[in-house]
A and B are shown apart, each in its own frame.
Chain A
Amino acid sequence: MTARVGSATLALIVLGLPFASFLLLVLVRPLRRSAAAAATVSIAAIAGSLATAVLVVRGAVARAGGQSPSTTWPWIPADGGPMATVGVMVDDLSMTMMLLVTLVSFLVQVYSWSYLHDEPRTSLGRYYAYHSLFAFSMLGLVLSPGFLQMFVFWELVGLCSYLLIGYWYDRPSAARAAVKAFWITKLGDLGFVAGIAMLWVATGTFDFWTLFQQGSRGTLPVEALPPIMFLIYLGAVGKSAQFPLHVWLPDAMEGPTPVSALIHAATMVTAGVFLVTRAFPLFRLTPDVLTLIAWVGAFTALLAASMACVEIDIKRVLAYSTVSQLGYMMAAAGAAAPEAGFMHLVTHGVFKALLFLGAGIVIHVFHTNDVFRMGGLRRHPWIWLPFVVGTLALAGVWPLPGFFTKEAILAGVFDARLGVPFAMLSVAAFMTAFYMSRVVFLTFFARPHHAGHAHPHVPVLMGGVTWLLAALTLALGIQQAFFSGHHDIGGPAWLAAFSLALAGGGILLAWAMYQGATLDPARVARMFGPLEWMARRRYGLDAVFVGLYRGVLLALARLVGWVDRYLVDGVLNVLSAWTLRAGDRVRRLQTGQPQDYVYGVALGALLLFVLAQWRLR
């Protein structure tokens, strides 16, 4: 990859358009309340962003050696130069992400218009406002030239995720899922913010370019880099749903399906991978942290894939698949092959958006998420063909992009001599092919459960978007297969055949179990008895979190509550009771009898008189 830089001004326009749309929708009430106008504003803004992003990429020029790709302005003034800067960093990484984010955002917003057609007209403006804010935040994140600005946008995308998961806030499950997603990602963010604070204390800068330069020259003035990088990695663990903080992502599917496609598959959840890729020149200096990233990533990939195999909710299958693929990307970064992970991020963003939007169409047709209650769409290739393209891409079938990026990741992990992670990723690849084919067979080709859907109606807009994404997936694959100059991804010679065999094996097994009826699914499940039982219960991880919440957090809250109620309040209550009683006693002095007061005056005067005489003596 030759290093290139793009125009900062154009990048700022890309960033500014969605923000302007968000402000318009939030501030102008009539606009927000009218669905069509709000959607038009938001879609027009993101379309403008997309066009400008294309201009940025086309106008990018080769970067001279040593030239910084960042354009920054001082932000927090302080003695001896600004404490932090803001700006845009337009290099290959951020330009690719910019294209992906604007493209998927645009398609998803168009799709949403059709998908949410039955929603109350007045709440659609809110939906589009959130979408615009999300596009702005995500673009700001990928364009960040420093850790601090990245953290600000990082939290903003977290907020958008919360708002959009809880879009149907009157459903208790959606509200709970939104809070869960917010809290669990915040757990990781604690590490992130502590990490960048420690890095700043040590180096005095948040700027990526400065840090990278110092890192590559070996002049980074940091003594304890591994703990810092570990803390920063924690942020990525939360956002990119790595074990053990992956529990929020499947629940995040309570949001509208297009939201799942955009935020919880294609863009936001990849922010963690993006962070590790972006800061890789620093992670490179800490091999131990990298090894940890690779192990956690591979384990996440395997764990999530096994849970996807037993899930019956189509969106949750896709969610677990996302967790699993994020594990792949992280494993690649951990194996010092961040380019492979990043390529997987980009292609995965396209075909996972395709799969989610395809799932949205299926849900639209069947009005259920349960794959066992679908089927009978064999005669409607208009519906199933794009989904199948996405499935094959995810399973890793030549010549679709998943094949190349997954092979590159496996090669990277193999070359890094990470034997066990390589094995885990291979098994996960097999499972990926299996569970995706299972969904395809059950959803489209199984016998229909009821005859009501002889002519399923799919809005042109929704179908069109999936076809477009399918074509894009195919184009990406063909570009990788025939037009990308070099295939030197490392790894052993048998790797391509091996990964194809894994994909083929998974698909065949799914066919045998769910379509060919040569294997009874129940018997296979019994073969994997305890494992299957545990996967169905999500390995008890949610229970662990619930237990931690109840056992630690609530216990602490009770303790604090007890101290407040009985110690703090107790002291105050006793004091006030004493005051009341004393007041009641003193009150009796006021008899209301004027003569008693005169007694007092007379006795007082007498006392004064005696005192005066006595003093004079």
Chain B
Amino acid sequence: MPLGAYLTLAALVFAIGLFGVLTRRNAVGILLGIELMLNAVNINLVAFGRFHADLGGAIFTMFTIAITVAEVAVGLAIVIVIFRVRRTVDADHLDLLRG
């Protein structure tokens, strides 16, 4: 399969993720969207690594996955704390920074 196919897949996944981040009102849904966008990046890295015969892409992907795990852990923890305090995780109501 040509490189373009992988890149197209990655772009699609990224767009779906972005759509999720922008449209979901639930904080957990937003986090899921972010996960999709990160994985689109991973696909890109692996695909480029494969086609350039360079292991660097795969290694970077490993790092990204590890960091993603940590990020999800922290993100979910924050969401739980927000739920405890505000009794909601609906993004429309989380506007403490409004000017």
Contact = CB atoms under 8 A, between A and B. Distances in A.
Interface of A: 587-595, 598-599, 602
B98 A590 contact: yes
Given A590-B98, A592-B95, A602-B22, 11 more contacts: A587-B99, A590-B99, A591-B98, A591-B99, A593-B94, A593-B95, A593-B98, A594-B30, A595-B30, A598-B18, A599-B22
8 contacts: A587-B99, A591-B98, A592-B94, A593-B92, A593-B94, A593-B95, A594-B91, A599-B22
Contacts of B92: 593
Contacts of B53: none
A595 B98 contact: no
Q: Which of B30, B94, B99 counts the most A-chain CB atoms under 10 A from its CB?
A: B99
Contacts of A587: 99
Contacts of A592: 94-99
Interface in B55-72: none
A591 B21 CA distance: 17
A595 B18 contact: no
Contact of A590 (B30, B91, B94, B97): B97
A598 B22 contact: yes
Contacts of A594: 30, 91, 94
A608 to B, nearest CB: 15
Contacts of A593: 91-92, 94-95, 98
Interface string B77-99: 00000000000000110111111
B74 to A, nearest CB: 15
Interface residues of B, number: 12
Q: Which of A591, A592, A595, A602 counts the most B-chain CB atoms under 10 A from its CB?
A: A595
B21 A598 contact: yes
Interface string B1-29: 00000000000000000100110000000
Contacts of B99: 587-592
Contacts of A599: 22
A598 B33 CA distance: 12
Contacts of B18: 598, 602
Interface in B19-61: 21-22, 30
Contacts of B97: 590, 592
Nearest to B99: A590
Contacts of A602: 18, 22
Nearest to B96: A592
A587 B98 CA distance: 9
Contacts of B96: 592
Q: Which of A588, A593, A599 counts the most B-chain CB atoms under 10 A from its CB?
A: A593
Nearest to A587: B99
Given A602-B18, A602-B22, A595 B95 contact: no
A207 to B, nearest CB: 73
A590 B99 CA distance: 5
A590 B95 CA distance: 10
B49 to A, nearest CB: 23
Contacts of B94: 592-594
Contacts of A595: 21-22, 30, 91
B81 to A, nearest CB: 16
Contacts of B91: 593-595
Nearest to B21: A598
Contacts of B30: 594-595
A587 B96 CA distance: 14
B32 to A, nearest CB: 14
Contacts of B21: 595, 598
A595 B63 CA distance: 27
A590 B97 CA distance: 7
The 6 closest A-B pairs by CB, nearest first: A590-B99, A592-B98, A592-B95, A592-B97, A587-B99, A593-B95
A385 to B, nearest CB: 92
Contacts of A589: 99
A591 B22 contact: no
A598 B98 CA distance: 15
A265 to B, nearest CB: 75
A405 B30 CA distance: 111
A592 B98 CA distance: 4
A472 B21 CA distance: 110
A582 to B, nearest CB: 13
A599 B97 CA distance: 16
A553 B96 CA distance: 58
A594 B97 CA distance: 9
A270 to B, nearest CB: 75
A278 to B, nearest CB: 76
A599 B21 CA distance: 9
Nearest to A593: B95
Contacts of A598: 18, 21-22
B28 to A, nearest CB: 14
B63 to A, nearest CB: 23
Nearest to B95: A592
Contacts of A591: 95, 98-99
A587 B99 CA distance: 5
Contacts of B95: 591-593
A262 B50 CA distance: 111
Contacts of A588: 99
B11 to A, nearest CB: 12
A595 B95 CA distance: 10
A592 B21 CA distance: 16
A184 to B, nearest CB: 61
A588 B94 CA distance: 16
A124 to B, nearest CB: 67
A595 B18 CA distance: 10
A125 B42 CA distance: 92
B57 to A, nearest CB: 22
Nearest to B25: A595
A593 B27 CA distance: 12
A599 B22 CA distance: 7
A593 B94 CA distance: 7
Nearest to B18: A602
A579 B63 CA distance: 48
B40 to A, nearest CB: 14
Nearest to B91: A595
Nearest to A586: B99
B1 to A, nearest CB: 25
A245 to B, nearest CB: 66
B66 to A, nearest CB: 24
A596 to B, nearest CB: 9
A587 to B, nearest CB: 4
